[in-house]
Each structure stands twice: as structure tokens, then as C-alpha cells.
Amino acid sequence: MKRLAILGSTGSIGQNTLSVVAEHPQEFMVVSLAAGQNTALLAEQIEQFRPRVVSVQDEAAAARLKELTPPSLAAEILFGPEGAVAAATAPGADLVVSAMVGAVGLEPTLAAVDAGIPVALANKETLVAAGSLVMALARTRGVPLIPVDSEHSAIFQAIQGQRREDIRKLWLTASGGPFRTWEPARLGEVTAAEALRHPNWSMGPKITIDSATMMNKALEVIEASVLFGLPVDKVGVYIHPQSIVHSLVEFVDGSVLAQLGAPDMRLPIAYALTYPRRLPLNGPPLDLGRIGRLTFEEPDMERFPGLRLGYEAACTGGTMPAVLNAANEVAVAAFLEGRIKFPDIPRVVAETMAAHAPRPLESLEQVLGVNRWARDFAAELVTNQRR
């Protein structure tokens, strides 16, 4: 029986994780849950999975949750960054599922690693903003970081039993999002509703917009470079609109191994939960005969400047990826609120990066400080771009 701490339990990854848990109740126990503001769903999850420790974003949400949770369930209800850290390091946890959205996931994830608890990592911002710090701490504590992101899970699966020095290049696949074939001139008129309609995956709003700008792939390129310890020029991207091949690994002999599957997040989640074992999962089998055709193409960096910015940030290194990530979080939120246009998202990120003097990564406090600076700077740009 594996005891899970699930950070971000009401988000898309969190809900899929709990659906895997519900499908295999003999395999898992939930010791803690952390979420943001969705107290109604969290209350249902508490009733179903009976965690001992629960945390939400702020005091007001904690008060709402207390009203919804009968005392008989005996859940300790906490809030804020300290609450998230307490949930991440809850007594008895064997595995932390780190699936909060954005840089807020950084602190609790680092706390889990510091406490020696293995992490199933879905929060890509942790490795983007503080990659070398997290990896160094994980090495010191001997803590495994198992990727949940479908692309990184695919690579992780493809390199099992392989030698790191035999890897020539990693290839991440990207669906290209809903605007892959649009004329660049039309992108200025894209609405939030259009950008939220992902062709293949059902995900939360932040990552869906990131997929439409391909900033998601930019974050994933940085994440892959950090996680697998390869320079960023050894991480390539193919547009693969069918989202069946989740990523590929090219070896020095020219052989390429790929992992395929239906676009269903339960697969990489379940693999991370029970690695190296595999759990049987309900779901239709992958019917390649019916799919018929898998296609691949080079990404268009003009149409998707976000991807180019990702490579630039990774090449610069240090604090620059944290700046890219923070500016993007602010820009995406502003776009969803209708405050800026779609092409303004990479513009805000580029201008924030241009204003930043990067430094080598030193500490969590430094990363959090850079994160705050970049958020403030990007917010200022958003205000000034309003017309």
C-alpha cells in the first residue's frame, strides 16, 4: 500500500490521480491533499479519500472548507504556503504527487525532496524555475523524481535499461495546439474561448493556453534538459498533431525509441505512482489501425515565438528560465481575463526577459525573489499594453 500526498488535487492532474487511486483502492492510501480555491470539490475528495492533512490557498478558503467538512472526518485543515509544505511532508507519505499549477508548487516540492520523500513531478515550473537546485537536493537526499508530464514520462520509459551516454538526442512531441495551421496575422484576434479548445488533451486553463502559444513546449524543453541532464541543444521538438507518440529518444547508433499511447493522463500518472510496476487501467486500447496515420513536422518558431524564447532562456540559464516562467504566468492570466491579446503573451515574456540581468542559481529565496520581480515587471507591461 503506497501512501500519497497529492498537491493540486482539484486540478486536472490531481483529479486524474485520484481516479487512478479510486480504480486501485488496494494499492493506495491518501494521507494529504492540497488545493487552491475549489473547496466544494476538495470537500468531496476529503469525504471519499479521508486524508489526515488538507491545505488550501488562503484563510478564507480554509474557513469555507471547514464549514463543508464534518469534524468526524478528522482532517487537519491548513492554508497558505506553510499549509502546502505541511501537506507535502505529511507524516507517513511515501510519494508526493506535485501537481500544483505554477511557481507556487516550487516550495512544497522542494520541502518534500528535502524531507527525503520521492516525488511524482507534474509541476514543470519547479524544474524550470529552480532546476539545478532541485536536482542537486534530490541527489544529496537520494530522492527519485519521477516525471508525470506525458512527454517526460515517455522519455523516462524509453530510457529504462539504457546508458545515459548512449543518448544522442531527446525529441519531445507537441500537438501544435488549436492554431497550428492559422495564418500568423489572424492570431491577434484569437479569443480565450478559442485558445481553451485543445484538439486532443483535456487539461486546465493555464496549460491549455500554454499549449496554444507553445510556451508549454518551451517549459517542457527546459524541464527535459534539467531532468535528464542533457544540454538544451540535445532536446528537439516535433509537431505531432495526433498526440499518440508522446516523445522519442534517439541513441548514438541512430536507433530511436518512442512511447505511444492514447492521450490520457492517467497512463503517465499511474506509471509514476507505481514505477517500475505497471497497473492495469480501464480504457479503450490504442487502435493504430483506426488512427491510420501518424505525422511529424518541424515547429515554426515564427508562428510560435514562445518556443524560441524557451530555448533562449535555457541557453542563458541561471535565473532566466524562472523569469520566462513568471512572466508567462502573468501574461496568460491577463489574456484569460481579456486584458491583452494572444500575441502579447510572448511579447510580455520577451520584454521581461530582456529587462532581466541573469544570475547563477543560488537559493530558493533568490528564485522566489526573481519570480516576484518578473511577475511585477510583467504586470506593469500588461497594464501599459492595455489600449
Distance CA 331, CA 345 (A): 5
Q: How far is the CB of 288 from Mg ion (least distance, A)?
A: 21
Distance CA 373, CA 368 (A): 9
Stretch that binds Mg ion, among 6-14, 91-99, 145-153, 378-386 (CB under 5 A): 145-153
Stretch that binds Mg ion, among 66-74, 143-151, 184-192, 336-344 (CB under 5 A): 143-151
Query: Which helix (H) or strand (E) covers residue 10, if one does?
Result: none
Q: How far is the CB of 200 from Mg ion (least distance, A)?
A: 11
Stretch that binds Mg ion, among 150-158, 169-177, 259-267, 274-282 (CB under 5 A): 150-158
Vertex 364 angle, CA 137 and 336, to 5°: 115
Closer by beta carbon to Mg ion, 198 or else 356: 198
Closer by beta carbon to Mg ion, 10 or else 247: 247
Q: How far is the CB of 79 from Mg ion (least distance, A)?
A: 29
Phi and psi for 91 in degrees, rounded to 5?
-55, 130
Closer by beta carbon to Mg ion, 39 or else 243: 243
Closer by beta carbon to Mg ion, 78 or else 155: 155
The arrangement of strands across the sheet holding 76-79 comes to 76-79, 53-56, 28-34, 2-7, 95-98, 119-121, 145-147
Closer by beta carbon to Mg ion, 103 or else 172: 172
Q: How far is the CB of 276 from Mg ion (least distance, A)?
A: 21
Exposed, middle or buried, 297 (CB in 10 Å: 0-12/13-18/19+)? exposed
User: Can you read off the three cell numbers belonging to residue 348?
Assistant: 510580455
Closer by beta carbon to Mg ion, 149 or else 329: 149
Phi-psi region of 283 (alpha: psi -120 to 50; beta: other; left: phi over 0): left
Q: How far is the CB of 158 from Mg ion (least distance, A)?
A: 15
Q: Please count the residues of the chain.
A: 387
227, 233 Cβ separation under 8 angstroms:
no
Q: How far is the CB of 269 from Mg ion (least distance, A)?
A: 12
Closer by beta carbon to Mg ion, 19 or else 200: 200
Closer by beta carbon to Mg ion, 240 or else 375: 240
Q: How far is the CB of 2 from Mg ion (least distance, A)?
A: 24
Vertex 212 angle, CA 350 and 14, to 5°: 105
Q: Which residue is nearest to Mg ion (CB)?
A: 149
Site size with Mg ion, rule: CB under 5 A: 3
Distance CA 264, CA 267 (A): 6
Distance CA 157, CA 282 (A): 20
192, 338 Cβ separation under 8 angstroms:
yes
Q: How far is the CB of 147 from Mg ion (least distance, A)?
A: 9
Per CB under 5 A, contacts with Mg ion among 240-279 are none
Task: Tell me which of 86, 113, 134, 149 binds Mg ion, using CB under 5 A.
Answer: 149
3-state secondary structure of 361: coil
Vertex 168 angle, CA 163 and 171, to 5°: 110
Stretch that binds Mg ion, among 16-24, 78-86, 146-154, 197-205 (CB under 5 A): 146-154
Contact between 125 and Mg ion (CB under 5 A)?
no
Q: How far is the CB of 294 from Mg ion (least distance, A)?
A: 18
3-state secondary structure of 248: strand
Stretch that binds Mg ion, among 13-21, 151-159, 237-245, 246-254 (CB under 5 A): 151-159
For residue 340, how many other CB atoms are within 10 A of its CB?
23
Closer by beta carbon to Mg ion, 93 or else 119: 119
Phi and psi for 174 in degrees, rounded to 5?
-140, 140
Distance CA 53, CA 32 (A): 5
171, β-bridge pairs = 236, 248
Closer by beta carbon to Mg ion, 16 or else 150: 150
Q: How far is the CB of 88 from Mg ion (least distance, A)?
A: 22
Residues that bind Mg ion (CB under 5 A): 149-151
